[in-house]
Amino acid sequence: ARSVMVVVAAPAAAAASVVAASPRPPSGVLTRSTESFKVLTECPLIVMLLFQLYPRYIQTTIPALIPLMVQALALRTPQRALLKHRAAATDFMAAQVKTLSFLTYLLRAFADFMRSYQESIPKCVIQLLLTCPPEAAAIRKDILVATRHILATDFRVGFFSQVDVLLDENVLVGAGPTSLRTSHEALRPLACSTLADLVHHVRGELGIKHLSRVVHLFSCHIHDASLPLAIQITSVRLLLNLVEAIFHKNDVEARALLVRILHTLVFKFTTLKEQIPKLLVARDEAAAAKEADKTARSQQVTREGARKAAMAAAAAAAS
């Protein structure tokens, strides 16, 4: 148990001020392990392994370990460090995200120990999304994955007050130069499904203003050909699940929202009417090409077998 605490606390205590205070070491000088964010990034995985090897220490160690991890999540990288030591700041954020992933791993089994952090953990997640560098797509992906894990538990209620922030797509996928749009587009399906999970759970608590933003956003997703079909289907289902919540608002704006949902779905049918024949033709062409390739392979195998048989017969005649 003491080893686990040392693994987490020693690097974290030293690392908390390194980004802000320590100059970058001269070229060729190695950073001490207790001041390395890359080492700190591996600590949650090491602790998880230790728990698997020595499960008898889990119950006594977790109560002291959870506050340390939450404190690590709450640390903020100074703006000056983001400008002067961007690589180190990114490594520090990667360590925080690994810590977040470890916390989500503990959520179900040790929910009682973490109940007091039900509001602070989602706030830390939002802060990580807001400060994550636009070029760190892998880190942002880990944040979104951790968020989905939290939304699958009772701790999702901490995100209910953050709906305004999360309805901004730039918060979820990041905003950056055109050169980074490819990585951002790769994150959009995960971001859309994460937001859909959140909205599904809070739909009864949303006001007309929020519902209007949700309807607009997911209507755009339905007509966005760059998104996978599964995400478009998820968007359709979400809009249909919103119908009852909107209907019970019982005012003019609610009626307008219902009409917008109906218009979105009807217009999608119009689009499908144009696209389905093309998709069927493409499907038939792909099937024909696959069959032709299969026939060609079969003929090649037959020719190869005949060639080997002829060679064997010639060899037998020669002997």
Q: Is 247 helix (H, G, I), strand (E, B) or coil?
A: helix
* Residue 36, C-beta contacts closer than 8 angstroms, at least 6 positions apart: 11, 15
Predicted confidence at residue 237, as pLDDT, reads: 92
pTM for the structure as a whole: 0.75
Predicted confidence at residue 182, as pLDDT, reads: 63
Report, in angstroms and rounded to the nearest whole number, the Rg of the chain calculated over CA atoms. 27
Predicted confidence at residue 183, as pLDDT, reads: 66
Predicted confidence at residue 113, as pLDDT, reads: 83
Predicted confidence at residue 258, as pLDDT, reads: 93
Q: Retrieve residue 178's tokens.
A: 């055109």
Predicted confidence at residue 15, as pLDDT, reads: 47
Q: In a 10 Å sphere around its CB, with 0-12 CB exposed, 13-18 middle and 19+ buried, how is residue 288 labelled?
A: exposed
Distances (CA, A) of 114 to 108, 117, 186, 203: 10, 5, 33, 25
Percent of the chain's residues with pLDDT above 90: 15
Predicted confidence at residue 26, as pLDDT, reads: 56
> Do residues 214 and 164 make contact, with C-beta atoms less than 8 angstroms apart?
no
Predicted confidence at residue 78, as pLDDT, reads: 80
Residues of the chain under the 70 pLDDT cut: 1-29, 176-183
**Helix, strand, coil percent values for the chain (each to nearest 5):** 85, 0, 15
Predicted confidence at residue 18, as pLDDT, reads: 44
Predicted confidence at residue 27, as pLDDT, reads: 55
Task: Tell me the C-alpha distance between 86 and 84, whole Å.
Answer: 6
Q: Retrieve residue 203's tokens.
A: 């739909």
